Amino acid sequence: MGALHVVGEPTRVITSFQQPQANKTNNGHGPVVEEIHGLIRVYKDGHVERLPAIPDVPATWGSTAQGSGVAVARDVVVDRATGVWARLYAPTTTTTATGGSGVPVVVYFHGGGFCVGSAAWSCYHEFLAHLAARAGCAVVSVDYRLAPEHRLPAAFDDGLAALRWLRHQASTTAADELAWWRARCRFDRVFLAGDSAGANIAFHVAARLGQGYLGPMGPLAVRGAVLIQPFFGGEARTASEKTMAQPPRSALTLPTSDCYWRLALPSTAGGATRDHPWCNPVSSARLETLPLPPLLVCVAETDILRDRNLDLCRALRKAGKAVEQAVYGGVGHAFQVLHNSHLSQPRTQEMLAHIRAFVTARS
C-alpha cells in the first residue's frame, strides 16, 4: 500500500515507493536497503521498521461498540506456537436471508503486500464489521505473520493454522468464552476471503485445503472464496501495470508492488522471481490441477492490477473453474478500506452486495 486516507481519522498523505537513501542509518542498523515511504524500512542488518500509517483499534471500537446493534467482536489466539491471532465478528442477528438459523463463516486475510497491515487496523476493523452486518456472516480476521521476517509461505501456513483452529471450534461443545460466537456460526458454510495480498493468501489456502494439507475437514465445508483485487505479479508487465497512471495517494504503484515481492518471496538461492507460483499462478502452475472452490474476483477499474486480475479470471475459466467477476468503475486499489475516492462508498456498497449474493447462493 502507498498513500493512505482513513475515514474518521486525520488525513495521512503517504507518498508512494521511493528508492532507499544509501546514507540513511538508524541506531547502528546500517543503510536502508528497501523502503516504502511511510510504511516500512528494511535495514542492511535485517532490522525492520514499520511506521504507524494506520492506527490499531480494539475489538470494541466504532461500529462494534457495546450496544451498537451492528456486530460484536473479540480477539483470540489461533496458533500459540507462532502467536498468530484473529479478530472474530458476528452479526447481532443470526437469521439468514433464507430464514435459517446461524450464519456462514468468512475467514478473511487483510492486505498490505504481505509486509504491513493488521487485523487491528481501523480501516479493516470498520470494513469487516460492515461485512459481518451487511453480508450476514461471521468473520475470522486473521493477523498472519509478515515478511520480510517471515517470508512466504509463512502467511499461507498461518492461513491453514486458522482453518485448523476453526475446525476445532466446529467440533467443540465447551461452555467457554467463545460459545456465543460458535452458536452463531454455520461451520458447514465456510468462505475464504481477502483483499490484495490477503486475496493471494485466500487463493493459495483454498488450493492447499483442496490438496488435503489439513486432512479430513470434519464439520467444516469450504463453499467458495472471495478475492478482492488479488495481489499477483509476473516478470512480464500487463498493460495496466505499464500504463495505468496513479494519483499521488494511490494504494499501489508498480515500484511499490515490486518492493513487496522482493521482501515477500523466498530469498534463498538468489531469490525467487515474480514468476514463482506464489506470485504468478497463471504462468507457473497448472491451474486445471488446482482443486479450487467457486471464486468471486472483485476488480478495481483504475488499479494497476486490473488486467492481471482479469487475466486470472480468464485463465481459471479456461481451466474449468467456476469464476464470477465484478469490476468496480472509477476506483483504485483498496478503495473499500482506504476510502481514497469520492466513489469509494457507493462502490463499497456494491461490493458488499455482491459478496452477500455470492455467499447466500452457496449457503
Task: Return the active site residues.
Answer: 196
- CA atoms of 160 and 211, how far apart (whole Å): 12
All three cell numbers of 288: 486445471
How crowded is residue 357: how many other Cβ atoms within 10 Å of its Cβ?
15
Q: How far apart are the first and last CA of the chain?
A: 33
- CA atoms of 311 and 305, how far apart (whole Å): 10
Q: What is the DSSP string of 263-324?
A: HHS--GGG---TTSTTT-HHHHS-GGGS----EEEEEETT-TTHHHHHHHHHHHHHTT--EE
Exposure class string for 225-260: b at 16+ Cβ within 10 A, else e: bbbbbbbbbbeeebebbeebebeebbbbbbebbebb
All three cell numbers of 73: 467482536
Residue the block writes with cell 493471494: 200
**Whether 103 contacts 90, CB under 8 Å:** yes
- CA atoms of 66 and 110, how far apart (whole Å): 24
